Amino acid sequence: MVKYLNYDCELVTYYSIKKNCVAIAIILLYDDVLKGFNSRLRFGVTGSMMIEVENLSKYFGPVFAVRNVSFQVEHNEIVGLLGNNGAGKTTLMRILTTFLPATNGTARVEGFDVMNDSLEVRTRIGYLPESIPLYPEMRVEEYLSFRARLKGVDRRIRTAQIDKVLEKCRVLEVRRRLLGTLSKGYRQRVGLADALLSDPQLLILDEPTDGLDPEQKVQTLKMLKELGQNHTIVFSSHLLSEVETIVQRVLIMRRGRLAFSGKISEMEAATIVQIEARGPEEQIANSLRSLEGVIHVAHKSLGEGFNSFDVRCAESHDIREAVYQRISQSGWSLRKLDQRRKNLQDKWNEINNQDENALQSHVGSK
């Protein structure tokens, strides 16, 4: 009886422990789910934004690479990230793709925090880094198959997906070539194919057209524009003309700060009147500033007594007639009077011509 009693007690104890362990596991699982849910609710995330960045900063020792950056990116929006070398573009991209931890602030992709929910974030992004880490001893198709397995692409559609990205990125003809023998343009396109393998909701591309010839650049930009119908795309570039061709919105970084965030359509609402006139430069500039609807006047000397004036006007203000009358009545000679829409180059020049104090004031007022 004692033997059976001890056995029964051990059995009861075993099942009690097992039951308690299961209960604890369920509680911990529920707690993790609740934490993730609450972390998204805490910031008011409703799923309407693909990317949300709030007061993001990154320091490398005493040097800051990104400082107090905040912006949002909507679903299926193509955004151009611009800035000079060292402005913080690549650092910002590496934080968004979970490769670098931020020093301060938060960044979320579809409501998932890039620090606390990094695995969830990685399943939603395709990343083309500045320097593409390819294995030179692998063949193109072999490398993409390896990457597809790492990304968890379903084996039933893996081959079809590889063929799809090979064709889309125009690397079908080199599918059997060793990666180490490819030109920079082909390596760039293989990296882009890798980013598209899992058909991610968000593409983050660091200089996607770097190393491509003019025809390849046109094809790549056309492909990105098509992808933007069903994907969110953030890409960096030094070429303002190609950014302006396909993006809906631009982010301009300068010295680690976000100097400008706005839509191209809003930027083009303002007009610029271009004037060339002979006369006293400062006096003409002050006269133009006094006209109704004028926001800003930039001017420079052209020599031989002529000066150039770029007059930025508010939306729906056409001041050309008023300019002609003002210059004629003042006895100055008018050589050119033209009007055009403000473009990305104008905004770029405006930001990069500001001194540090004006930049901080501009960023703080946004």
Specify the pLDDT at position 303: 87
More confident residue, 313 or 333: 333
Per-residue pLDDT tens digits for 125-144: 999 998 888 999 999 999 99
E strand or H helix that includes residue 294: strand 294-303
The architecture of the domain spanning 269-342 is 2-Layer Sandwich (3.30)
Give me 359's structure tokens.
Answer: 């930049």
- Looking from the CA of 245 toward its CB, the CA atoms found within 13 Å total 16
Neighbours of 14 (CB within 10 A): 10
pLDDT greater than 50 at residue 109: yes
Collapsing DSSP to helix, strand or coil, 213 comes out as coil
CATH of segment(s) 49-266: 3.40.50.300
Please state the rounded mean pLDDT for residues 354-363: 54
Read off the pLDDT of residues 17-58 as tens digits, 9 standing for 90 and up. 444 544 444 444 444 444 444 444 444 444 579 999 999 999
Supply the pTM of this predicted model: 0.72
DSSP, collapsed to helix, strand or coil, labels residue 309 as: strand
**The pLDDT value given to residue 37:** 43
Query: Tell me, what DSSP letter sits at residue 139?
Result: B
Paired with 71 in beta bridges are 53
Contact between residue 187 and residue 132 where contact means Cβ atoms under 8 Å apart = yes
Q: Where in the chain are the domains? A: 1-42, 49-266, 269-342
Assign 149 a pLDDT band (cuts: 50, 70, 90).
very high
Asked whether residue 11 carries a pLDDT value surpassing 60, the answer given is no
Q: What is the pLDDT of residues 83-101, one digit of tens each?
A: 888 889 999 999 999 999 9
